Chain A
Amino acid sequence: MSNIALSYSSITKKVFLAIAGLFLISFLVLHLVINLLLLSSDGGMAYTEAVHFMTTNPIIKVMEIFLFGGFALHIILGIIIQIQNWMARPVRYKVEGYSHNSFFSKYMIHTGAIIFIFLMVHFFNFYFVKLGWVSPPAGLEREDFFQMATLLFSNNFYAILYMVLMVFLAFHLNHAFQSAFQTLGLNHSKYTPAIKFIGTLYSVIVPAGFALIPAYFLFFK
């Protein structure tokens, strides 16, 4: 795969990176909406119903393959591009990067790596449990995501870690959205300011929404 990726031009690679990224951005909204159901006081009824739908609906099953493909593409291309970028300047400057630029754009690989580590933890906590690769916490059913989530968020250490992680996700997303449009060549004097505004808004609201749930468990449970 990496050999094929290397033979593509820099712009082609970036276009795929951007498209995969935008797809992940759209997925994140759906994920957040379902997660927010955890805050409902119905004892997890709505959340369990939503999880049931997401794990059994055939269309979602197909989309799941695209989702994993999107993650894989985004991660692999991101790493290849970063390695090429490091190789493009073998001798570093003594006085580094004073130039004014978008701050978060400089740390995409770092914030990306942190998010990737969390993604792995996330897989071990939920997805692999569902598949039966990892055994569920003692006394819980394999499909009982509500109890698993409640158990995790009741752990103060995990809850705080989760909220810190959302800050890094926000940093990553802050540059991601508008950058994807620029890469796709979608730059326009009328619409680009709106895209930048929406991107910033998204990068604050979505991670804040995710962080709201552990915060609720931490302070109100």
Chain B
Amino acid sequence: MNFTLKIWRQKNAKAKGKFVTYKINDISSNCSFLEMLDILNEQLVVKGEEPVAFDHDCREGICGTCSLYINGRPHGPDDAVTTCQLHMRKFKDGDTIVVEPWRAKPFPVIRDLICDRQAFDKIIQAGGFISVNTGGIPDANAILIPKEKADYSMDAAACIGCGACVAACKNASAMLFVAAKVSHLALLPQGKAEASERVQAMVSKMDELGFGNCTNTGACEAECPKQISITNIARMNREFLGAKLGAQKKRASGGGGF
């Protein structure tokens, strides 16, 4: 298959980027999108040009490293896949493919198609964890968890933190990511203990980093490679409201935890 690629090239975070057009021929329809970019890069290296920088790691859809906004869609024209799982057979022979980095103020582009997604790490650091004291290994069945709750929690925990929700959202809102991280802990007894502090800390960090506000458009849910539902956003709103309205005044604590 033959394609015309329009790829965003940008030397570094400060440089002014631009789209550069490349022609690529004889690509197998079974090629993955990233393999196609590998082939392009090899050709560029042979020609003595700078290869296109893009994020990738596991190449099996579980690490959340690959990104790419392809023809107006995060992770390209297929549902429930990451860019590494996208195949060239999803395009038509002779197509023009526009490849852009994620665009959001908290995700600055640092080179070509790579953007800095540390903002997500900062949100997790603000509260996306449980505080556990070290000690003996607890018995696996010591705390009973209803199967349904465990399933909902697992659905939310499927989030790989790729940032497609932010990229797809017209407001560059991170609500689906934060909601998934709040939900998978809030649904389980182990996460309940710190649920109120967690949701407030994570939402506050999300706002501080400059993500947009959710307007319930649902684009995030449509583009999420792990098909995480916006019911998680409703759950986070509920948790947040409950925490804000119901939480007692802060009192001096003996340390630890949040």
Residues of chain A touching chain B, judged by Cβ–Cβ distance below 8 Å, are 9-15, 81, 84-85, 87-102, 105-106, 108, 175, 178-179, 182-187, 189
| B84 interface residue (CB < 8 Å to A) | no
Complex contact B237–A184 (CB within 8 A): yes
The SS class assigned to the B binding surface is mixed
Shortest CB distance A35–B (Å): 30
State A12–B238 Cα separation when bound (angstroms).
11
Selected A-B contacts with CB under 8 Å, 8 pairs = A12-B244, A81-B213, A88-B104, A88-B212, A98-B71, A100-B222, A101-B219, A105-B218
Complex contact A88–B203 (CB within 8 A): no
State A98–B164 Cα separation when bound (angstroms).
13
In the complex, the chain B residue whose C-beta lies closest to that of A105 is B217
Partner among B106, B210, B234 whose Cβ is within 8 Å of the Cβ of A187: B234
In the complex, the chain A residue whose C-beta lies closest to that of B71 is A95
In the complex, the chain B residue whose C-beta lies closest to that of A8 is B207
Complex contact B241–A184 (CB within 8 A): yes
Complex contact B241–A87 (CB within 8 A): no
Residues of B within 8 A of A94 (CB): 6, 8, 19, 98, 100
Residues of A within 8 A of B8 (CB): 94
Instruction: Count residues of B near A (Cβ-Cβ below 8 Å).
Output: 48
* Stretch among B59-67, B134-142, B165-173, B188-196 lining the A interface: B165-173
Complex contact A89–B103 (CB within 8 A): yes
Residues of B within 8 A of A14 (CB): 213-214, 237
Residues of B within 8 A of A102 (CB): 216-218
Partner among A10, A93, A105, A184 whose Cβ is within 8 Å of the Cβ of B206: A10
State A189–B105 Cα separation when bound (angstroms).
34
**9 more A-B contacts (CB under 8 A) besides A105-B217, A183-B216?**
A14-B214, A85-B172, A91-B103, A94-B98, A99-B73, A106-B170, A182-B237, A185-B239, A187-B238
State A14–B214 Cα separation when bound (angstroms).
8
Residues of B within 8 A of A106 (CB): 170, 217
Partner among B72, B211, B215, B234 whose Cβ is within 8 Å of the Cβ of A108: B215
State A13–B98 Cα separation when bound (angstroms).
36
Shortest CB distance A98–B (Å): 3
| B120 interface residue (CB < 8 Å to A) | no
| B12 interface residue (CB < 8 Å to A) | no
Would A182 and B233 be within 8 Å (CB), given that A84-B212, A88-B210, A95-B71 are in contact? Answer: yes
| B131 interface residue (CB < 8 Å to A) | no
| B117 interface residue (CB < 8 Å to A) | no
| B56 interface residue (CB < 8 Å to A) | no
Q: State the 6 A-B residue pairs at the shortest beta-carbon distance, nearest first.
A: A185-B238, A187-B234, A98-B72, A88-B212, A85-B171, A95-B72
| B240 interface residue (CB < 8 Å to A) | yes
Partner among A11, A89, A100, A182 whose Cβ is within 8 Å of the Cβ of B172: A89
Complex contact A84–B213 (CB within 8 A): yes
Complex contact A99–B223 (CB within 8 A): yes
| B11 interface residue (CB < 8 Å to A) | no
Partner among A11, A96, A100, A178 whose Cβ is within 8 Å of the Cβ of B237: A11
